[in-house]
A and B are shown apart, each in its own frame.
Chain A
Amino acid sequence: MTIVSSTPNNQEPKSLQPKGWLKYFSFSLDHKVIGIQYLVCGFLFYLIGGALASAIRIELTSPVSDFMPRDIYNQVLTLHGTIMIFLWIVPVVNGAFGNYLIPFYVGARDMAFPRLNAVAFWLIPPAGLMLISSYFITGAAESGWTAYPPLSITTPAAGQIIWILSVLLLGGSSIFGGINFIATILKLRRPNLKLMQLPMYCWAMLGTSILVVLSTPVLAGTLILLSFDIVAHTGFFNPTLGGNVIVYQHLFWFYSHPAVYIMVLPAFGLVSEVLPVHCRKPLFGYTTMVYSIMAIVVLGLVVWAHHMFTSGTPPWMRLFFTIATSFIAVPTGIKFFNWVATLWGGKISLNSAVLFSCGFIINFVLGGITGVALAQVPFDIHVHDTYFVVAHFHYIVYGGSVFVIFSSIYHWYPKFTGRMLDETLGRIHFVITFIGFNLCFAPQHWLGLNGMPRRVAEYDPQFAFVNQLSSVGALLMAISTLPFLWNVISSAFKGPKAGDNPWEALTPEWLTSSPPPVENWDGEAPLVVEPYGYGKKEDQQHSEVTDQSNDFEKTMQKK
């Protein structure tokens, strides 16, 4: 395979693009630049979303509504939820790592549609800024990230419309990204690279992108209808005009339940990349891992109504969705057991990347178990819309996805920048985050069980102490970002040089220089048929890295 053959199509010579750090502010077509753009942009939004979360936790330190007016509180929590989901988790686990890694993994020099890719990214900053500025200009949306009508129809229209517009833009970005990933994985694969030889992250992204393409458009359609209700006074979801509010909920959750897997499947993929490298062991049960991703994709599409158990759905429907939802635990469980089996018998370096990955496993199992509990209708009837649910999903989105994002940053930072992060700061970061996180969200289970609803600025005095405990946890989480920020910024300038492959990893992105050249490899793209072949050829470790073409023959014969 020659260079020419895998040069991506139709773009202006990349040498014409800005060099150095300036390229990160340009309409770059390089998938690595776009990946970093996604990552940094997402992280900035995370800080804003986190600042809003801090405001929420400050308000909740006292049982009365004193820190901010009640309608502002609703705006803050709406912005917090929307920003964290649509501007932080989704763009980062999909856009950032997907863009950076997928072309390497399939042995391509760029994504299938570089220009579409750049467009998808550049939709995000304006959408995000629009969303945030709505707070200052017109007042943000205040009906929660779910925007249930008729509340979203009767609250001030300007903020809600801006919210709809920016979510539409972000959804569009997500769909473009999804199509691009599917095309890259299926069509741009290097010749002779079989699907079942791809690193697990590719499978995760394939599954995620299928979900994106199938479900996001439904959200778009729904929000268009909702905006008609607001602007043109149609009555789709407006009961006073004969509309039906439950239909909105069905359509919304048809997207938003798959959306939770859009947030977590790529994270599953990333963990599958990080763990084998640092355990020096092959990923356990590759094939079942692939099947379980696909099972999650299929099941994920048919469980949405578990968010609506108290909404007046017919009993048979509740029953069906209970069973379907519970069964998601099976493929998800397979993944977790396989990760534990990957740890088992390894030679684990207890570095920050591994710590965050293992933190993820622990947190997610707890979040998943509460999820399965929530899936049981009779159980959910008591705790629906309480802090129990808040605890459930923060265990998953923060304890799961965000932990994985941190883990991945520790793992791939040397590749991104060519420099190492400081290990000590990384461990400090992990310890404070882990303690703060559990302190913040574990007590919320109790709050929910005992009668504290969510989305309230004021609550019964008997919950004050536990809420303060939770706020202390949030404070710790806020503090924990400091060592991290200091670490990533200072290491970019004076961290020790990493070398091309500091972890001695076998996946293709490590078989090139750090940071990689514009075309990903100076020579031809390596063919990696065993991305997890650790421990297989002890003595050939290094020869495989350097002398790919000889290895190629051997591996082909073995297959």
Chain B
Amino acid sequence: MLGLGLIAGGVWSGQNLNPLPIDASTNAPIYDELFKVLFTIGIILFVGMLGLVVFSLIKFRRRPGDSGDGIALEGNLPLEILWTAVPAVVVLFVGLYSYDIYERMGGMQPLSHGGHNEKSIEVEQKIWGGIGSKETSFTNSSDKTISPLPVEVTAMQFAFLFHYPKGDIISGELHVPSGQPVTMKMISKDVIHAFWVPEFRLKQDVIPGQTTILNFTPTKPGRYPIICAELCGPYHGGMRSTVVVEDPDSYEAWFKQNAKEEETPLQS
């Protein structure tokens, strides 16, 4: 009875208490799904253990005047097996489930250069890590309409710079159209930084000497913070930028406006 109530309560709180910020990319809802499961399991385990401890402390507390010993129970093999097996099963489930989640996020995709293919000079360069993207690797072959938007990210103490090879835009803010996959190639000029957008549930270290790739597809228009999440010096806390997710039209407008401006100095 109590156990059932506990599980029901856990499931309820997993479904209804959501402490996460809004989800603004395709992998954010996947992430939230995982979060709900972990949260549910966590609540059940924690409240269960809490209940057991508090209950024992009250039920089995020493009454005044009682100076005897407790029962001389030294162990119980079936019980031991039970509480080895149950966590093992839970943990195995969690591990496999999160593998599935990771797969759906694109984490297990081989890291292709995605939209950077045209720059074949750099094919030699080793890619070290990051998150691939299902969409990008599919669209590479077939569907041209949502081919990914390539962006080159440079991190330095204490700023991010975004370079759009198409149109040669250099910007301090990341502008992306909603619904289109973005593939970012990130390099660092000095120390390790990390590119983090909480609303995208995405984080990737930007590592000097090694290129990392990060793919994502924004879904909800809005302005979200880009946060540097790796200690990189005194102004690490101030190393922030913004990602502006716009609907494709206003993105196009922004792109046109800036692409021109950037092209003029290049031609002169």
CA gap between A240 and B209 in the complex, in Å? 7
Say if the beta carbon of B80 comes within 8 Å of chain A. Answer: yes
CA gap between A341 and B55 in the complex, in Å? 12
CA gap between A70 and B233 in the complex, in Å? 9
**Contact, CB under 8 Å: A312 / B130:** yes
**Contact, CB under 8 Å: B191 / A150:** yes
Per-residue contact bits, chain B 111-136, to A (CB 8 Å; 1 contact, 0 not): 00000000000000000111100000
Count chain A residues whose beta carbon lies closer than 8 angstroms to a beta carbon of B. 98
**Contact, CB under 8 Å: A365 / B49:** yes
Say if the beta carbon of A352 comes within 8 Å of chain B. Answer: no
* Shortest Cβ-Cβ A-B pairs, 3 listed: A312-B129, A239-B209, A456-B237
Say if the beta carbon of B5 comes within 8 Å of chain A. Answer: no
Say if the beta carbon of B19 comes within 8 Å of chain A. Answer: yes
CA gap between A240 and B207 in the complex, in Å? 12
**Contact, CB under 8 Å: A369 / B45:** yes
Which residues in chain A, 138-154, are within 8 Å of chain B measured between CB atoms? 142-144, 148, 150-151, 154
**Contact, CB under 8 Å: B70 / A535:** yes
Say if the beta carbon of B4 comes within 8 Å of chain A. Answer: no
Q: Which of B73, B201, B236 contacts A281 (CB 8 A)?
A: B73
Which residues in chain A, 283-307, are within 8 Å of chain B measured between CB atoms? 283-288
Say if the beta carbon of B87 comes within 8 Å of chain A. Answer: yes
**Contact, CB under 8 Å: B202 / A350:** no
A-B contact pairs, 22 of them (CB 8 A): A74-B233, A239-B210, A245-B209, A281-B72, A285-B80, A288-B75, A310-B229, A330-B88, A334-B84, A338-B80, A340-B49, A343-B56, A354-B57, A361-B49, A365-B45, A372-B94, A382-B201, A451-B227, A455-B237, A457-B237, A459-B237, A538-B69
CA gap between A313 and B128 in the complex, in Å? 7
Known: A327-B88, A378-B102, A385-B230. A451 touches B209 (CB 8 A): no
Known: A154-B191, A280-B70. A453 touches B196 (CB 8 A): yes
CA gap between A245 and B232 in the complex, in Å? 14
Q: Which of B46, B192, B201, B204 contacts A369 (CB 8 A)?
A: B46
**Contact, CB under 8 Å: B91 / A326:** yes
CA gap between A160 and B136 in the complex, in Å? 43
| Number of CB contacts from chain A to chain B under 8 A | 280
Per-residue contact bits, chain A 538-558, to B (CB 8 Å; 1 contact, 0 not): 100100000000000000000
**Contact, CB under 8 Å: B60 / A344:** yes
In the complex, chain A residues whose CB is within 8 Å of the CB of B61? 347-350
Which residues in chain B, 48-67, are within 8 Å of chain A measured between CB atoms? 49-50, 52-53, 56-57, 60-63, 66
Per-residue contact bits, chain B 87-104, to A (CB 8 Å; 1 contact, 0 not): 110011011001101100
Say if the beta carbon of B177 comes within 8 Å of chain A. Answer: no
Count chain B residues whose beta carbon lies closer than 8 angstroms to a beta carbon of A. 82
Say if the beta carbon of A386 comes within 8 Å of chain B. Answer: yes
Say if the beta carbon of B105 comes within 8 Å of chain A. Answer: yes
In the complex, chain B residues whose CB is within 8 Å of the CB of A340? 49, 52-53, 56
Q: Nearest Cβ distance between residue B26 and chain A, in whole angstroms?
A: 13
**Contact, CB under 8 Å: A326 / B19:** no
CA gap between A235 and B79 in the complex, in Å? 55
Say if the beta carbon of A379 comes within 8 Å of chain B. Answer: yes
Say if the beta carbon of B31 comes within 8 Å of chain A. Answer: yes
Say if the beta carbon of A65 comes within 8 Å of chain B. Answer: yes
Known: A284-B73, A326-B95, A451-B198. A538 touches B68 (CB 8 A): yes
**Contact, CB under 8 Å: A322 / B99:** yes
**Contact, CB under 8 Å: B231 / A143:** yes
Say if the beta carbon of A431 comes within 8 Å of chain B. Answer: no
CA gap between A279 and B192 in the complex, in Å? 51
In the complex, chain A residues whose CB is within 8 Å of the CB of B201? 381-382
In the complex, chain B residues whose CB is within 8 Å of the CB of A246? 128, 207, 210
**Contact, CB under 8 Å: B102 / A347:** no
Q: Which of B21, B73, B75 contacts A287 (CB 8 A)?
A: B75
Given contacts A148-B192, A322-B98, 13 further A-B contacts (CB under 8 A): A142-B234, A244-B209, A312-B128, A312-B207, A333-B87, A340-B53, A347-B63, A348-B61, A350-B57, A384-B203, A451-B225, A534-B69, A535-B72
**Contact, CB under 8 Å: B19 / A456:** no
**Contact, CB under 8 Å: B70 / A286:** no
Per-residue contact bits, chain A 459-491, to B (CB 8 Å; 1 contact, 0 not): 110000000000000000000000000000000
Known: A322-B99, A348-B62. A379 touches B31 (CB 8 A): yes
Instruction: Identify which of A315, A345, A354 gathers the most chain B CB atoms within 10 Å of its CB.
Output: A315
Q: Nearest Cβ distance between residue A226 and chain B, in whole angstroms?
A: 14
Q: Nearest Cβ distance between residue A180 and chain B, in whole angstroms?
A: 31
Residue of chain B at shortest CB distance from A144 = B231
Say if the beta carbon of A370 comes within 8 Å of chain B. Answer: yes
Say if the beta carbon of A314 comes within 8 Å of chain B. Answer: yes
